[in-house]
Amino acid sequence: MSDRSRRRLSRGDRRRNEKLGLLREIVTRETAVLAFDLAADKQVCALTDPDSRVLARRTVRVKAWQLSEAVAWGLARAAEAGFESVVVGCEPTGHRWRVLDQLAAEAGVRLVCVQPLLVARAREAEDFTRNKNDDVDATIIARLVTELRCYLPERADPSWARLRHLGARRARLVTAAGAARQQVRDLLECAWPAVLGAASKPLVSASWLAAVAVATDWVDASGDLGVLARRGFDAFAAAVRAELGPTRWYSAIVRAVFAAATDPAHAAVGVAGQRAGALERVRFALDDLAHARAELARVEARMIGVLDTLGLTELVETIPGLSAVGAAAILAETGDPTRFASARSLVKHAGLCPRDNASGTYQGKTGISGRGRPELRLAAWRAVFTALQHNPVLAARHRHLTGRADNPLTDTQARVAVAASLLRQLHAVVVTRTGWNSTIAAGLDRDERGTAAAA
């Protein structure tokens, strides 16, 4: 091996050195570290020198918004000890670190964050116990900052911050809609299973949902499905049309729902003792589902509006199989992709990067790291299902990964790898402000790698 090869640094080495250099510009030998252990009403701070020696401690029983005086105290004590300034450190606890970040910026100092996992591990290494103490935690945070085992938190502009909040709201609504849908299915399988066969996709069909809503309204708390037969199909159909409004209705589905209630062979199937209460709950769950879907549409429209403000809607829609809503859901979790050093860093942030398991000649089974943001991983996973149907590059990659002779992946494993590829493509499109190109995405044109990252 040549001396040049020995001296060559890997891409990871170079990026790690760049990161450490940036942190060293902030955490210098001339600055003290003011570390906070944040809580709701009690804040513990420790001032240390660059060698982690404690210079001063203080505990204040205030809200996070009232910490400006504590920051000023830290600056004054640091000046008395001969330091030019301080760097503020804390764990990213709830919203409080954002409050402290703003207060630190107003005081003219920089804030860095330490991952809670590192604090927990360092606490165990400190005294080989799992004891938790606010004073000790503040000291540990300060020590980790001096060791540069910290990071610079994102200071998002208002548009990106708004997109993140909307994305969090959308994630909750998707979960709520799924829970309501599953509750309807479970209850009907117990009390009125025949109605689930009235449509091929019952919980998706608007006509089926409207017909079941009318039926449960009429039955109410009695549990008597015979009320539909007594009132007749014409009245039932008119009520379903009124429930649907301008939405087109499918009479075959409505008739099938009516038959499930009026046909003795179908109506008799189900747990009779549970029917009254179960159908009552079905009506409540249908209301929950309708509300979640309406709110979801409203939130998604606002998310697309934020993409319009950022000038990204047309760009992300150039990626086949990725809708504006799907891209917005991903970008809500990533924040501004330009803050990542590379597309690889974004994939790591999602926890979709490979996790090696090797030592010497041993090579164990590998998987994904699973670290990072789980909601980002979920958003990318959901986007893959549509992308595989419409994106030729990703579909070809999936076929290759599952069909190769050497170490073929399962369908699920291949979809995870494709999700990482989708994130890399989205990063390239957004960062370079260049529309999706199938040649570049497939890695066929090596000369254009400077323009956009390949899959």
Could you read off the pLDDT of 412-422 as tens digits, one per residue?
Answer: 999 999 999 99
170-179, 368-377, 421-430: segment of lowest average pLDDT: 368-377
Averaged confidence pLDDT in the chain: 91
User: What are 300-318's pLDDT values in tens digits?
Assistant: 999 999 999 999 999 999 9
Residue 392 has pLDDT above 50, yes or no: yes
The tens digit of pLDDT for each residue in 231-242 reads: 999 999 999 999
Range of the domain at 266: 169-302
Residue 159 lies in a domain: no
Average pLDDT over residues 208-220: 95
Q: How far apart are alpha carbons 206 and 293 in whole angstroms? A: 12
Is pLDDT of 249 > 80?
Answer: yes
| Domain CATH for 140 | 3.30.420.40
CA dist., res. 15 & res. 288, Å (int):
48
Find the range with the poorest average confidence among 150-154, 177-181, 192-196: 150-154
Q: Are both 177 and 242 inside the same structural domain?
A: yes
Give one DSSP letter per residue of 126-154, joined into a string.
HHSS----HHHHHHHHHHHHHTT--BPPP
Residue 416 falls inside a structural domain: yes
Asked if 87 and 177 sit in the same domain, the reply is no
Question: What per-residue confidence (pLDDT) applies to 131?
Answer: 77
Please report which confidence band the pLDDT of residue 146 belongs to, taking 50, 70 and 90 as the band edges: very high
Q: Please indicate, yes or no, if residue 123 is contained in any of the structural domains.
A: yes
3-state secondary structure 216-229: HHHHCCCCCCHHHH
Q: How far apart are CA 405 and CA 395, in angstroms?
A: 18
The pLDDT of residue 356: 67
Structure tokens at 259: 């038959």
Asked if residue 361 is part of any domain, the answer here is no
Same domain flag for 218 and 279: yes
In the listed set 146, 177, 211, which residue is the last one of a domain according to the structure?
A: 146
Q: Which residue has the higher pLDDT, 7 or 277?
A: 277
In a domain, 162, yes or no: no
Residue 445's pLDDT is: 60
Q: Judge whether residue 358 has pLDDT over 80.
A: no
pLDDT at residue 446, rounded to an integer: 54
Distance (Å, rounded) from C-alpha 268 to C-alpha 193?
10
Residues 285 and 344 in one domain: no
Same domain flag for 177 and 288 = yes
Q: What is the structure's pLDDT at 7? A: 66
pLDDT over 80 at 452, yes or no: no
Q: Does 286 lie in the same domain as 212?
A: yes
End-to-end CA distance of the chain: 31
Q: Is residue 5 part of a domain?
A: no
Confidence of residue 454 (pLDDT cuts 50, 70, 90): very low
Q: Which of 111, 146, 181 is the last residue of a domain?
A: 146
**DSSP letter at 446?**
G
Say if residue 176 is in the same domain as residue 298: yes
pLDDT at 8: 82
Domain count, the chain: 3
Residues 218 and 201 in one domain: yes
Quickly list DSSP for 304-367: HHHHHHHT-HHHHTTSTT--HHHHHHHHHHH--GGGSSSHHHHHHHHT-SEE--EETTEE---E
Does 152 map to a domain? no
> Pick from 302, 320, 342: which residue ends a domain?
302
pLDDT for 77-106, tens place per residue?
999 999 999 999 999 988 899 999 999 999
